[in-house]
Amino acid sequence: MYYEKGYPESVVAPDVFVVFGVENRDRRSYKTWEENNQTPDFVLEITSKSTRSKDQGAKKGIYAFLGVREYFQYDPTGDYLNPQLQGLHLINGNYFPLATNTLPDGTVSLHSEVLGLELRLEAGKLRFYNPAAGQTLLTHEEEAAARQAAEEKAQRLAAKLRELNIDPDSL
């Protein structure tokens, strides 16, 4: 993400970021000046031994400067961040920690006001949970498997209807 026109060194590469109010389209890179100076509302960094100091230092400062309202860090191995999932909320140009909630089953949860979701640490894995729907968002793999299962079920139902001399395409 480039954030100052004419200064190619003014670049930062978040692992995940969300910007509201911009067109949903593919981009090779995100240039704020081409997007009505819209900067991310939410950033998630997947941190590791090699990125920890940047994620907690320079990047954190850049995100605050850009006005990123929420900044989350997740350490998938649990080796470098304690706690393994952390969230910060921007108030008057400074980041302050978000409250962590531990559910009865031991799941760690942080609420993202920006996304309207909870980021949950379930058995060490980061998951997004929609409290309004009461559902965990599916991973790409889970969504693909669910779609395939639904397609197979539809094919079985169509075959059964044909057995009953009912054309499923006429319904």
Query: In the chain, which stretches have pLDDT less than 50?
Result: none
- The string of pLDDT tens digits covering residues 85-98 is 999 999 999 999 99
What pLDDT, on the 0 to 100 scale, is given for residue 80? Answer: 84
CA-nearest of 16, 18, 10, 46 to 114 is 18
| Sign for the pseudo-dihedral over CA of 134, 139, 142, 144 | positive
What pLDDT, on the 0 to 100 scale, is given for residue 99? Answer: 93
Paired residues of 96 in beta bridges: 89
Assess contact for 69 and 97: CB atoms under 8 A. no
What pLDDT, on the 0 to 100 scale, is given for residue 89? Answer: 97
